[in-house]
Amino acid sequence: MKDALMPTLMQTVKRTPVLVHARPFAHIATGNSSVVANDMALQLVSAKQQAKGANATTSGFVVMEAGFGADIGMEKCFNIKCRASPDILQPCYVVIAATVRALKMHGGGPPVMAGRPLAPEYASEEQLDLVTAGCSNLARQIANAHKFGVRVVVAINQFKTDTPAELQAVQEEAVKAGAHAAVIANHWELGGQGAADLVQAVAEACETAVREGNQFCFLYDALVAIPRSRAYRPITLRGIQACVGAGFLYPICGNIMTMPGFSTRPGCYDVDLNLETGEVLGLF
């Protein structure tokens, strides 16, 4: 356990340092890395800035990944993680990742089933009506981020099946909804170069925040009780459970079920490689 107290230092294929530490899934926990990892990253960027001199421009950025979508990971990052460390974490922008395929589903496209081929609407057909209709979900996530006072950059992760008209429609709808920028990211095909425009848009959003002042804020005072509204309906409260280490309580209402924890024996122990065939074993 003593080794788990320190973040793991990794790197991307472009040699950018990555700090991985205590990053549980957002549907069962916070979906974010630890404050310790962020603090270390911020200090690395600060040290680089100081080494360049007092008159140097911004020398780097710290990016937090908040998993499981803007409506879970982002809000848990702001409402829990940043609230627990207000002197360290004050985000100035959010990158919301979107895909044409996902927006088609939000717009009423056919269901996607595991193990079955994708429907033509996703695999081969241009469907501008589905894309435009699905952008209402993206617009809502942009509006939710704005409530926290941060700017939004939309990264449109490009698939080879996306048409130029579909990508343009997402860009137009995102900007209409208030995004600082909406950029097509094709790093899947082109590597780092395919994300160069996205990096530039993020840098511009950060520089704007520095010039105008960071407006990040919490949506509510955690100590203020929520008044009972006219639409109040009584619910069955079965109990309250505590996450002592994380420092928060959560009520169990009605028939809701919580997700069990992971096994004490990591699944990676069962993964192996057949050296003769190259087949990966034990994944499923």
Nearest CA to 70 out of 126, 152, 4 is that of 152
Q: How far apart are CA 19 and CA 59, in angstroms?
A: 18
Q: 246: pLDDT confidence band, cut at 50, 70 and 90?
A: low
- Cβ atoms 60, 209 nearer than 8 A: no
What mean pLDDT is predicted for residues 84-110? 93
- Is the pTM here over 0.85, yes or no? no
Q: 284: pLDDT confidence band, cut at 50, 70 and 90?
A: low
> Which pLDDT does position 260 carry in this prediction?
65
DSSP 198: H
181-185 and 151-157: which strand pairing?
Answer: parallel
The 10s digit of each residue's pLDDT in 143-188 is 999 999 999 999 999 999 999 999 999 999 999 999 999 999 999 8
Q: Is 22 left (phi over 0), alpha (psi -120 to 50) or beta?
A: left
Average model confidence (pLDDT) across the chain: 85
Question: Other C-beta atoms within 10 Å of 84: how many?
Answer: 14
> Which pLDDT does position 248 carry in this prediction?
75
Asked if residue 98 has pLDDT above 90, the reply is: yes
